[in-house]
Amino acid sequence: MKKLADFFSVNDDLKNLSITDVVDDSRKAVPGSMFFAINGNTSDGNVFVLDAIKNGAKFVVTCGEKFSAEKRSDIVFISVTNPRKELARICSIFWSAKFDHIVAVTGTNGKSSTVDIVRQIWINSGINAASIGTLGIITKDSEIKGSLTSPGAIALHHIFDDFKKKNIKNVAMEASSHGLDQHRVDSIKFSVCAFTNFTQDHLDYHKTFENYWRAKERLFLELGGDFFVINSDDIMSEKIEKIAREKNIKCISYGKKSDQIKLISVREIDQYQKVKISFFGREIEFDLPLAGDFQVYNSLCAMGICYATGISIDSICNSLKKLKPISGRLELVGQHNGANIYIDYAHTPDALKNAILSLRKHTKNRLIVAFGCGGDRDKDKRHLMGKIAQEFSNIVIVTDDNPRNEDPRSIRKMILDGCPNAKEIGNRKEAIKFAINQLRSGDILLVAGKGHEDYQILADGKIHFSDKEIILDEIK
């Protein structure tokens, strides 16, 4: 329980009032709680103020031109200029969980894999650690699937509170552009902020590349950290390096152009990759049991993060050898007729291209790709993804992903504009089964777009759907 004065500078008659909880859902309000009336994309939080009060809320925070706090009857109404930002700040005070290290990873692709690798390195190095992101909430002993890359501020601090009870010391989390734009991860003291890459995605939400970048940039420009870890081979890293110089923050770069964690070479050997790097001048070679060039980059990013949090390079390299497969990230699911079948979460043009080219190296015969694009999302990437699939694979099957509220046929048509030679099978289950039955020895099948997800979002709701389960059932 906190006092109002712990959060705001208020008059003497208000500052000792007690707050029992912080909520942004009127249904979760309890006696003595503080309710934030947050405006979403489709709803106005002010509509639910009376419901929150009926459920016991004694403090109501709304948006206004300037700060004010006044008591009407027995309810305190507080006006702030940015309720989302204030919510994150207040959550950090109300729950106040502390860790040895919290690290944030942003970028278009690679966030999920990077935080997962970081968590695994920490755990293999003897540190009780957890990760938060698209793959869910993962600790040493448990895994809870999630639906948001970056949970809302209240949900996030509830997670942190649970972590402290489990004596977790380090946390690695994804910082999505939505989460950064909506201030979900504000007021968190990050030890390390890392950047993977920047390519097209989420223009349905951000509208322009400039807005999309500004959301990502907030992590470095406004939230900061003790270290920045950046991809030297992505041109946007130059902007982050400039921020680091201006803010006097230490910067660790990785990639082919880096002079710190420099990628020298990669050799594909069966089910693993032998990676040679120069680590601050020391030449090192290690085995990486993950497929794909992009996983090499994600691993280098994770190395930089872990090194910045005090893990030795020897411990990092020993941990990398023990990595477990990352769910839905170029994951080998099984074989059929002498052909390997992979699933991958790739749902952007760059991610799809990287996944296809990574598998092309291992393809002795034909590379078959089955994929779709999500509804109510960036429409401009659909044509591009179709074009990439047709250019770099032998057979393309266009199917549904998560159509949501859009007409699935119109989504497929936009994809097919880029790959007119593709076969169209709207039903994703039938498309996967068809693809498997085309396989011959030496072929590779990539089912892309959903990866770890075990659901499909349709106009009339969410249904259980797992690419992995369908593949295993078909090849049985």
- Residues 38, 72, single domain; the answer is yes
- Residues 101, 214, single domain; the answer is yes
Q: How far apart are CA 224 and CA 427, in angstroms?
A: 45
Last residue of a domain, one of 321, 351, 373: 321
- Residues 120, 240, single domain; the answer is yes
- Residues 42, 165, single domain; the answer is no
**CA 396 from centre of chain:** 27
- Residues 190, 297, single domain; the answer is yes
For residue 272, what pLDDT is reported? 86
How far is the CA of 441 from the CAs of 10, 210, 287, 292, 430, in angstroms?
A: 73, 46, 28, 21, 21
Q: What is the pTM of this model?
A: 0.91
**What pLDDT digit, counting tens, does each position of 219-247 carry?**
999 998 899 999 999 999 999 999 999 99
**What pLDDT digit, counting tens, does each position of 16-43 carry?**
999 999 999 999 999 999 999 998 766 7
Q: Is 468 helix (H, G, I), strand (E, B) or coil?
A: helix
Over pLDDT 70: what percentage of the chain? Answer: 97
- Residues 308, 337, single domain; the answer is no
Average pLDDT score over the chain: 94
Residue 90 lies in a domain: no
pLDDT greater than 90 at residue 207:
no
**CA 184 from centre of chain:** 13
Residue 258 lies in a domain: yes
**Contact assessment for residue 297 and residue 358, using Cβ atoms and an 8 Å cutoff:** no
- Residues 23, 112, single domain; the answer is no
CATH number at residue 202: 3.40.1190.10
Number of domains in the chain: 3
CATH number at residue 394: 3.90.190.20
- pLDDT band per the 50, 70, 90 thresholds, residue 212: confident
Residue 88 lies in a domain: no
- pLDDT band per the 50, 70, 90 thresholds, residue 438: very high
**What pLDDT digit, counting tens, does each position of 388-428 carry?**
999 999 999 999 999 999 999 999 999 999 999 999 999 99
Last residue of a domain, one of 83, 114, 146: 83
For residue 112, what pLDDT is reported? 94
CATH number at residue 10: 3.40.1390.10
Residues comprising the chain, all counted:
476
Pairing status of strand 423-424 against strand 395-398? parallel
Residue 225 lies in a domain: yes
- pLDDT band per the 50, 70, 90 thresholds, residue 145: confident
Residue 35 lies in a domain: yes
Least confident among 29-43, 46-60, 405-419, 439-453? 29-43
Residue 58 sits in which domain range?
2-83
pLDDT greater than 90 at residue 149:
no
The residues with which 44 forms a beta bridge, in sequence order, are: none
**Run of H or E including 341:** strand 339-344
Q: How far apart are CA 289 and CA 138, in angstroms?
A: 20
- Residues 129, 181, single domain; the answer is yes
- Residues 63, 166, single domain; the answer is no
Q: What are phi and psi of 334, to 5 degrees?
A: 175, -170
How far is the CA of 82 from the CAs of 41, 64, 87, 385, in angstroms?
A: 16, 8, 9, 37
Token pair for 112: 């999920």
